[in-house]
Amino acid sequence: MELDLSPQDDPEQDTPERHAVARRSTLVSVVVNLVLTAVQVVVGVFAHSQALIADGIHSLSDLVSDFVVLLATRHSSKEADDDHHYGHQRYETAASLVLGALLLTVGVGMLWSAVHKLGTPESIPHVQPIALYVALGALVAKELLFRYMLAAAERVRSSMLVANAWHARSDAASSLVVALGIVGNLMGYPLLDPVAALIVGLMVTRMGWTFGWDALNDLMDRSATEEQITRIHDILSRTPGVHGVHDLRTRKMGDMIMVDAHLEVDGDLSVREGHDIATHARDRVMAKMPVLDVMAHLDPIMAPPPRGSGAHKVAQGAPGQQATR
């Protein structure tokens, strides 16, 4: 699931708050996953449930991903430096890519193990009832964790935290499948336990591919959404002194957006006046959208006459002065 960064009228959340929320929610996830991993794997071994063991390994992957998120959160908050002139926002994108690769690897491993078991049905043991209670407990814990983490991610608008929250939801869904597989095994259908492990593997593999592919596209300078681009264009064009906007381009920087645009202004204005218009347009966009910076190029035009003075025609002038900050 991709975070909805639709236009907002309120200024974006402060960066310190974003990182504080990310750290707090991730630490909660660390504790939950640490407990679940230990309980699921230990009980799965003694209760002879491959599905519960697979679910425990999935919880372990959550634990590892939590540490990846904590590392990315720490580094993405750094200011721009000599080696990173645009800051470190893409640490979050890189973290999402690692999460996707981790999920994909774990999912393929689950599939391999489940297929091997299904190929040798005589080796499938009967599951002990305690495995069902643990699976149901894990289901409740993961669903509550998902709801908590998603609420935190949406409050600060972080796609990395959304990825981690849906990672928790994948565990909740997989725990449900595991519980059903264990019930089937207890009712005399032993094949249902490795079948449940197979389904969990497919779910994890699909989610890993989705997160990894999205992050890879962002690292290749994917543009903002059409809705965001339209909103940015509207804000720029409504800035006093701006008579037109063209060649608007965007690219993602983590959860933020970099913007390049050509602004058409009255060619009779001074350089200082044009600069002030460009600065005002930049500030308006950054106040209402998750935009990291706006680079504006000024194109001088013959300003249209006031309304009521007859027909007017805008003539394109020579290339304008680059707006400085």
The two beta strands, 291-301 and 256-266, are: parallel
Reading the block at residue 320, the tokens are: 């304008």
Average pLDDT (63-74) is 66
For CATH 3.30.70.1350, list the domain ranges present in the chain.
226-301
Average pLDDT (282-307) is 85
User: Which pLDDT score, from 0 to 100, does residue 245 have?
Assistant: 94
- φ, ψ of residue 205 in degrees (nearest 5): -60, -45
CA dihedral 57, 59, 60, 66 (to 10 degrees): 150
Helices and strands (H and E) in the chain: how many: 8, 3
Task: Say which CATH superfamily domain 15-219 falls into.
Answer: Cation efflux protein transmembrane domain (1.20.1510.10)
Q: In whole angstroms, what is the distance from residue 321 CA to residue 298 CA?
A: 5
Topology classification of domain 226-301: Alpha-Beta Plaits (3.30.70)
- Least confident interval from 27-31, 72-76, 99-103, 125-129: 72-76
Average pLDDT (204-227) is 82
Q: What is the pTM of this model?
A: 0.58
Q: Which amino acid is present at 297?
A: H
